[in-house]
Amino acid sequence: MAANLQKLKLLYIAKMLVEETDAVAGLTMTQILERLEARGITAERKSVYRDIESLREFGLDIQTFQRAPLEYALVTRSIELDDLMLIVDAVQSSRHLTQRKSDALVRSIKRLAPKRERDLLDRHLSVSGRIKIQGDSLLYNVDRILEAIAGKRKVSFRYFSYNAAKEKVMRRSGERYVETPVEIIVNQGVYYLVTYNPETDNFEGFRVGRMDYVEVSEERAAKVPRQSDFSVERLDNAVVGAAGGAFVDATLIADGHAMNAVVDRFGRDVASTDLGDGTARIEARIEEGPAFYGWLVRCNGTVRIEGPESLAESYKQYLRAILEQC
């Protein structure tokens, strides 16, 4: 038993350096020897020096702090505290994770940091408007879909909508869909499965969160001939039940304080001209339809259509139709 413990000495030294030291605080030789003794391992200083040197040769960035007494610390890691903080924030703000799953992931992430820094990862992040999902089915669905894509198999599932009572109503009377999966897209916080239908030579979209009983089919996936003309925005329209329209080269006038929304939608490289009066002319290719019109409504009049006139008229008809339903 004692011999086995001696063989583990190097591993225990590495473990304590990983967990208890960082670029600020190290362990003294006395502290290292005390921790080894607490595990039933007796060691001489010279042997610990040799072990630390072996870890350095292995690639660990162990530095000696010139203090009284000397301290030894692992100062560089494959992932630093700032990176871990970003990951924790992303996990806690994700609407696709249950609270239970989110908490479990944060606990796992914290173990990647030295003990002294783990409290700093208790972020207690509050995200306005976030709605956590109530189960882990979304993650399960994503796993099965990715498994099907990797195995070049079709994916089988039932698809549902909600009725006025917020009850699930299965499409096709519960008949299973068997589709060729192409990829998963996250658009505006929503997971979509993109599928290819060889009979219509077209792409279709399904919200992953509305898929039930997802399975990898034994049937081989159809060959996908093209993806370059696939539109995420068109998919969004199709899935929520609104038809997308034609693509149009639009000219918009945006107030200066609306430019954040413009760049967020069209990208930093969107063609724009400062008109010198606090507004800018924007040249962008858009797809006519509710997705674009809804964005204009959310801009609350700070972005206006200058042309073409047909696009402006279509937008007015969209607004009139909504007002008639009020």
pLDDT at 263: 85
pLDDT band for position 257 (50/70/90)? confident
The DSSP annotation for 149-194 comes to HHTTEEEEEEEEEE-TTS-EEEGGGGPPEEEEEEEEEEETTEEEEE
Q: Is 73 left (phi over 0), alpha (psi -120 to 50) or beta?
A: beta
Q: Rounded CA gap, 109 and 282, in Å? A: 43
The one-character DSSP state at 206 is E
pLDDT tens figures, 272-291: 898 988 888 999 888 888 88
Q: Which of 8-22, 120-134, 179-193, 268-282 has the lowest mean pLDDT?
A: 120-134
CATH class for the region spanning 137-232: mainly beta
Do 2-74 and 247-324 come out as alike in CATH topology?
A: no
pLDDT tens figures, 184-204: 887 666 788 889 888 888 888
Give yes or no for residue 136 having a pLDDT over 70. Answer: no
| Fold classified for 247-324 | Alpha-Beta Plaits (3.30.70)
pLDDT at 135: 58
3-state helix, strand, coil in the chain (%, to 5): 45, 25, 30
Give yes or no for residue 254 having a pLDDT over 50. Answer: yes
Q: Mean pLDDT across the stretch 117-122?
A: 74
Q: Rounded CA gap, 237 and 218, in Å? A: 31
pLDDT band for position 241 (50/70/90)? very low
In three-state secondary structure terms, 286 is strand
Q: Mean pLDDT across the stretch 129-143?
A: 68
In the chain, where the domains are located:
2-74, 81-121, 137-232, 247-324
pLDDT band for position 207 (50/70/90)? confident
pLDDT at 12: 92
Among residues 294, 298, 309, which one has the least CA distance to residue 258?
A: 298
The DSSP annotation for 68-84 comes to SS-EEEE---SS-HHHH
pLDDT tens figures, 163-179: 777 788 899 999 999 99
| Residue 105 near residue 136 (C-beta atoms within 8 A) | no
Give yes or no for residue 294 having a pLDDT over 80. Answer: yes
Question: In the predicted model, what is the mean pLDDT of the chain?
Answer: 83
Give yes or no for residue 245 having a pLDDT over 90. Answer: no
Q: Which residue has the higher pLDDT, 316 or 247?
A: 316
pLDDT tens figures, 40-58: 888 899 999 999 999 999 8
pLDDT at 123: 55
Q: Which CATH architecture has domain 2-74?
A: Orthogonal Bundle (1.10)
Q: Rounded CA gap, 219 and 6, in Å? A: 55
